[in-house]
Amino acid sequence: MSNSSSMPAQAKSLKHAGEDIWKNRTEKVNAELFTLTYGAIVSQLCTDYERNFQKVNEQLYSMGYNIGVRLIEDFLARTALPRCENMVSTSEVVSKCAFKIFLNITPQITNWSHEKDAFSLILVENPLSDFVELPMDAMKQLWYSNILCGVLRGALEMVQLDCDVWFISDVLRGDPQTELRIKLNKVLKDEIPIGED
Amino acid sequence: MAIKAILVINKSGGLVYHRNFSNEESLSSNDYLIIASTLHGAFAIASQLTPRAVQLGEASNAVDYTIPYIPYVGFPRSNANQNEKSRFSSNNVSITTSLGSFKGDDYFKEPFQSWNKSGIRQLCTDQFTMFIYQTMTGLKFIAISTQIPANVNNSDYPIISIQVADNLLRKIYCVYSDYVMKDPFYSMEMPIKSELFDQRVRQMVSNIA
Amino acid sequence: MPQYFAIIGKRDNPVYEAEFTAQQGQQGQVQQGFPQNLKELNPFILHASLDIIEDLQWKTNPNTQSGSNSGGGGGFLRSRNVANVDNCYLCKVDHFYGLAVTAYLTYGGMKFVMIHGNMNNGDVQIDDNSVRAFYQEVHELYIKTLMNPFYKINDPITSPAFDSRVRALARKYLNK
């Protein structure tokens, strides 16, 4: 009872915190510069890997991972949020705070697994892929925004959540929506810093 | 609260940054490494002790770990007196204006929760006081101060200073997230060689009266 | 009346071409479009006018030369003439046996060129306002195409989305 009534309130304050940090506490960069920079990286990778899109996906993922393990410190320094007790609150923090602060979007959280250990984020808008049209040969293979999966994976791992993150669909491929899946493998209990209790 | 040294210890107990602010350099780098790993261990042992100790004392189960926000800790305008301020602004004019990727006139403006709940947060001895701020990723930011709790009768004094220290150390964490984590040539868990980070830390510490 | 529209790159290479007819995709297309022999000639007619466009490209804008405040009049780029609202649109630049050719230059030097055909062997009437609006919106679409990281400048535009949007614009502005 108390749990169900406290959840919306918590979610609301997270939303508020995310918006406040985005609006008042964070310096911005030009969105088009950002989008074009990312686009240049992806298209250069496609050329460098001779259009082996599987390799490009992997490379984007590992670049994202390296960003994630660093970016989490920025996120925590900014928010100082307490540890999430379950994946439900993790999903709220990821969507309402993390995506809000770094990309100014709030993906929808849906498709919870039965055990509440996996969920989907629906990216209604994706700042990475503005202006993008995939070339025909990449349509079936390239996950254009795969860097996001790596970022989430790296960031969650640093707060001791071992997760798999992957894309299920992408509007760039002609799918009706862009869906990103996050599945918790296990909580790395041994690595939780001593003293946190 | 004169701060004598700032240390940063990574999650496996390795010293990644140390800066001594007193004039005489009394310790070798090796000594610092030993301090860091010893502290890492002592911190872990202390956290084993805490639950028992809490049970001994009749602390209620609802401990409040909230740290109040103290405005402009580490900034020239607040804690520093006029003399300090003018000396500071003449030296480092350019740096004071920008907070890196942080916008506004302070890194954060709200009270926050401490992640360090059962470990050592403050260590007082006859010679020095030590403050420890641990992040969710296991990093430890440590400030060593020459302040001694001589005036124990004035009970407000030590409480304020741990709060000031937590505010300061979280700000150093903010600086770390900008200048260390976003340095593309920094490899994780390795010693911090960033001149910019060092500069910011020195500047903040020099502003603590 | 039908039109033949093309985007020509900086090295005079074709980047995009399309033929617009009054009734797109319907059975009467042959009557509405260019006659077959003209269809084949269209690219030649269009390329023949490129010389004129290039001459115009580096001239001060004739529309503002008589203007009193000739602060921008000395500039060699047409776009420097702030007073001139048509600084990209060159109006009718050429004609060929009753066909008219209009052109539009982007700031990057891409040439948008269009042949306006005529069904009834009368004079071609060009409504500058709607043709200009057409060019301007195609220009915007072209900029969006440039923003696509997979598109390289001066490559042919193969995107079906671009094609269908251009055709929609043609229906909106040109085939009233």
pLDDT in tens, C13-50: 999 999 888 654 444 444 567 777 788 888 899 889 99
Res C67: pLDDT = 44
The string of pLDDT tens digits covering residues B165-200 is 999 999 999 999 999 999 999 999 999 999 999 999
B195 occurs within a structural domain: yes
B93: which 2 tokens?
């004019």
> Of A16-20, B48-52, B127-131, which gets the smallest average pLDDT?
B48-52
Q: What percent of chain A has pLDDT over 70?
A: 95
Sign of CA dihedral C162, A176, C25, C120: negative
B168 occurs within a structural domain: yes
Write down the mean pLDDT value for chain B.
82
> Is the model's pLDDT at A163 over the cut of 90?
yes
pLDDT band (50, 70, 90) for residue C119: low
pLDDT band (50, 70, 90) for residue C71: very low
Gap from A69 CA to chain B (nearest CA, Å): 9
Res A153: pLDDT = 98
- What average pLDDT does this structure show over A157-167? 97
Chain B residues within an 8 Å CB radius of A196: 115-119, 134, 136
Chain A residues within an 8 Å CB radius of C149: 36, 38-40, 42-43, 131-132
Which of C44, C51, C50 has the alpha carbon at shortest distance from C4? C44
B101 occurs within a structural domain: no
> Is the model's pLDDT at C73 over the cut of 50?
no
Tell me, rounded to whole angstroms, the distance of Cα A149 from its chain centroid.
Answer: 6
Chain B residues within an 8 Å CB radius of A73: 135, 137, 139, 173, 176-177, 181
User: Does residue A144 contact residue A172 with C-beta atoms inside 8 Å?
Assistant: yes
Res A2: pLDDT = 38
Q: Does A191 touch chain B if contact means CB atoms closer than 8 Å?
A: yes
| DSSP per-residue codes, chain A | -HHHHHHHHHHHHHHHHHHHIIIIIB----HHHHHHHHHHHHHHHHHHTTT-HHHHHHHHHHHHHHHHHHHHHHHHHHH-PPPPSSHHHHHHIIIIIIHHHHHS--PEEE---TTSSEEEEE-SS-GGGTT----GGGTTT--TTTHHHHHHHHHHHHTTEEEEEEEEE-GGGT-SS-EEEEEEEEE-GGGSPTT--
The string of pLDDT tens digits covering residues B103-145 is 888 899 999 999 998 899 999 888 888 999 999 999 999 999 8
User: Does residue A58 contact residue B169 with C-beta atoms inside 8 Å?
Assistant: no
Res B206: pLDDT = 87
Contact check, Cβ <8 Å, B102/A196: no
Class of domain A4-187: alpha beta
Res A185: pLDDT = 96
Contact check, Cβ <8 Å, A83/B139: no
Provide the residue range defining the domain that includes B166.
3-75+106-207
Cβ-nearest to B47 among A26, A27, A194? A194
- What average pLDDT does this structure show over A19-43? 93
pLDDT band (50, 70, 90) for residue C66: very low
Res C107: pLDDT = 84
Gap from A169 CA to chain B (nearest CA, Å): 30
> Is the model's pLDDT at C120 over the cut of 80?
no
Sign of CA dihedral A57, A60, A62, A64: negative
> Is the model's pLDDT at B88 over the cut of 60?
no
Write down the mean pLDDT value for chain A.
93
pLDDT band (50, 70, 90) for residue A4: very low
User: Does residue B171 contact residue B73 with C-beta atoms inside 8 Å?
Assistant: yes
Res B98: pLDDT = 76
Residues A140 and B174: their CA atoms lie apart, in Å, by 41
More confident site: A165 or C10: A165
Mutate to test the interface with C, among A33, A129, A132, A133 (most CBs of C within 10 A): A133
- What average pLDDT does this structure show over A108-136? 95
Res C86: pLDDT = 58
SS3 at position B85: helix
CATH number for the domain that contains residue B16: 3.30.450.70
Name A122's bridge partners. A108, A179
User: Does residue B1 contact residue B21 with C-beta atoms inside 8 Å?
Assistant: no
More confident site: C91 or C172: C172
What domains lie within chain C, and their CATH numbers? 3-24+34-59+85-174 (3.30.450.70)
- What average pLDDT does this structure show over A165-184? 96
B16 Cβ neighbours under 8 A, 6+ residues apart = B8, B9, B10, B189, B190, B191, B192
Those chains having 3 or more beta-carbon pairs within 8 angstroms of chain B are: A
pTM value is 0.85
B150 Cβ neighbours under 8 A, 6+ residues apart = none
pLDDT band (50, 70, 90) for residue C60: low
- What average pLDDT does this structure show over A55-84? 96
Lay out the sheet containing B3-9: strands in order across: B15-20, B3-9, B140-145, B129-134, B122-124
Q: Are chains A and B in touch, 3+ Cβ pairs below 8 Å?
A: yes
- What average pLDDT does this structure show over A98-103? 96
Contact check, Cβ <8 Å, B134/A193: yes
Name C114's bridge partners. C5, C102
Which of A138, A182, A144, A148 has the alpha carbon at shortest distance from A164? A182
The string of pLDDT tens digits covering residues A5-17 is 445 677 778 999 9
- What average pLDDT does this structure show over C131-138? 92
- What average pLDDT does this structure show over C80-104? 75
> Is the model's pLDDT at C138 over the cut of 80?
yes
Chain A residues within an 8 Å CB radius of C151: 133
> Is the model's pLDDT at C112 over the cut of 60?
yes
Contact check, Cβ <8 Å, A27/B103: yes
More confident site: A146 or A197: A146
* Count of structural domains, chain B: 1
Contact check, Cβ <8 Å, B113/A82: yes
Letter string b/e over residues A51-89, b meaning 16 or more CB atoms within 10 A of that residue's CB:
eebeebbebbbebbbebbbbbbbbbbbbbbbbbeeebeb
